[in-house]
Amino acid sequence: MVIDKIEVFVSCPGRNFVTVKVTTSDGTYGLGDATVNGREMAVVSYLEEHVVPCLIGRDAHAIEDIWQYLYKGVYWRKGPINMAAVASIDMALWDIKGKVAGLPVYQLLGGKSRNAVTLYAHANGKSIEQTLDNAAQHVNNGFKAIRLQSAVPGLKVTYGVLGDKKDYYEQQGNRPLPPEEDWSTPKYFAMIEELFIAARKRLGNDIHLLHDVHSRLTPIESAKLGKLLEPYNLMFLEDASMAENQENYKLIRHHTTTPLAIGETYNTIWDCKDLIQNQLIDFIRVAATHAGGITALRRITDFASIYNVKLAPHGAPDLSPVCMAAHMHLNIWAPNFGIQEFVGFGNDELKQLFKHDYKVVDGMAHVSEAPGLGIEFDEEAAKAFPYKRSYLPVCRLEDGTVWNW
């Protein structure tokens, strides 16, 4: 059974997705996600020009060899564009292997470690009250873990808080140039403790609370924030600071017992290695699409388990439903699974294009029993939603300095 055809589809059902379909000589096909938010066409060209021609005629079962061929074999290792291309092929090959075996992918990984996958929902708001109203709604719907983000008074825009637009930020397709946002650390510090004081009062102590800083703080400011939030018992504080210099997290770690999470932009095990082996974080937030697929996430997860670090995959809507399906199989298998971020795929266009087979009940995902990944993509319907150039915002301090987004 050899690889016969590889097709790359770019569609915009509310936001852009790059979907890869690998078809074998016996007609079996598998799907992969290659979406790199705001840089979609770079991956398409990398796949079509440099990856696809090398794979036609290769054994579709040789997942590990193909992974190594695309990683070690290319000289230019790592990087988001390269690794998203590797990831999409890898996911599609696992999908195919499962279909041929007649088994869901989690069975090929070693079977279930739990009954269902715990999810965390997002609660955003223009005010603390609105954030907590949204959080209370998630609790009513059965969620046991919620990420809280609230607008910072005095800033023009706050990430994830959209005023009267209902959609999550990244679901707004068609931003032909990057919008800009402002940031002030003092204004943020004036709000943030109030959010968690009010959250514990309103939601009690049984709900897991999480928060994403989007790397806006320096390490010493992150250390201060971690200490400040200790009384409110967060499940984790995400992306407090950048960790291009992984030493940054030593400083944060030495000052606080608030659990730390990072990894959504990481592309390989090397990006997480020092943080994991020095036990500077508690959750690793890699995504199958951005860190090299199921093969790579399985390896990172096993490595992390030795150091008591749990898997908490990135789950923003810029990862397609194909990636989320792959995560579900990893999550139900991983002995050191922590939690899955889950914003959902609300819009109707998107539901027309992608059909997944897992079910969400009371904030838990019940994983697909269909052979392979349990995901379908309607390539005919996709034609009605062509690519639209769109960017994430750029962040600036109030004096105009470009800042971390």
Place of tokens 């500077």: 280
- Element (H or E) spanning 62, and its range? none
Give the residue, chosen from 229, 341, 350, 367, that forms a contact with ligand CS2 under the rule CB under 6 A: 341
Q: Which of 264, 373, 391 is nearest to 19 (CA)?
A: 373
Q: How far is CA 327 from the centre of its chain?
A: 9
Q: Does position 10 bind ligand CS2 by CB under 6 A? A: no
> Is 43 within 8 Å of 51 (Cβ atoms)?
no
Q: What is the contact surface with Mg ion in residues (CB under 5 A)? A: 212, 264
The Cα–Cα gap between 368 and 199 comes to: 34
The binder of 282, among Mg ion, ligand CS2, none, by C-beta within 5 to 8 A per type, is none
Q: Does 37 bind ligand CS2 (CB under 6 A)?
A: yes
Structure tokens given for 304? 């992390």
Which pair of structure tokens corresponds to residue 317?
């809507």
| Residues involved in catalysis | 159, 214
- Between 14 and 371, CB nearer to ligand CS2: 14
264, two tokens:
């959504």
Q: Does 40 bind ligand CS2 (CB under 6 A)?
A: no
Q: Which stretch binds ligand CS2 (CB under 6 A): 94-102, 254-262, 292-300, 312-320?
A: 312-320
Binds 182: which of ligand CS2, Mg ion, none (CB < 5-8 Å by kind)? none
Shortest distance in whole angstroms from residue 306 CB to ligand CS2: 25
Least distance in angstroms from the C-beta of 356 to ligand CS2: 19
Please say whether the beta carbons of 210 and 235 come within 8 A: yes
We find the least distance from the C-beta atom of residue 345 to ligand CS2, in angstroms, to be 14
The closest alpha carbon to 30, from 103, 87, 97, belongs to: 97
Distance from C-alpha of 9 to C-alpha of 33, rounded to nearest angstrom: 10
Contact flag: residue 264 with ligand CS2 (CB under 6 A): yes
Residue nearest to Mg ion (CB): 212
Distance CA 173, CA 349 (A): 12
* CB-nearer residue toward Mg ion: 160 or 374: 160
Helix (H, G, I), strand (E, B) or coil at 363: coil
Q: Select from 318, 324, 353, 364 the one that contacts ligand CS2 (CB under 6 A).
A: 318
Closer to Mg ion by Cβ: residue 95 or 264: 264
Q: Which residues bind ligand CS2 (CB under 6 A)?
A: 37, 170, 212, 214, 264, 314, 316, 318, 341, 392
